[in-house]
Amino acid sequence: DEKEKFEPTVFRDTIVQGLNEAGNDLEAIAKFLDATGSRLDYRRYADTLFDILVAGSMLAPGGTRIDDNDKTKMTHHCVFFADEDHDAIRNYAQVGKG
């Protein structure tokens, strides 16, 4: 039995790239996440996925982002960058329910 490598940074890069390519269209983001779920192990990388969808990148212990301000490792399509109103946050929550 060969163990599969745990590579959260590769997972992050794949998710962030897809989110950024989807643009500001939440429906396109939801479709990307749904399609990617069949290829990537969301359960294995649940913490990383949650960090990306909420904060825009992976988080280190203590809550700082692990992206070194590299725009290819972060996305603005997340809760932290959403407009601060009920409808905007609800729309992001609906994407997560997919």
How does pLDDT run across 71-84, given as a tens digit for each residue?
A: 899 999 888 888 88
User: In angstroms, what CA-CA distances link 57 with 4, 17, 37, 94?
Assistant: 23, 11, 18, 19
What backbone torsions phi and psi does residue 29 show, to the nearest 5 degrees? -65, -45
Q: Do the Cβ atoms of 8 and 58 come closer than 8 Å?
A: yes
Where do the structural domains in the chain lie, given as residue ranges? 1-97
N-terminal to C-terminal alpha carbon distance within the chain: 34
How does pLDDT run across 26-84, given as a tens digit for each residue?
A: 889 999 999 998 899 899 999 999 999 999 999 999 888 888 888 899 999 888 888 88
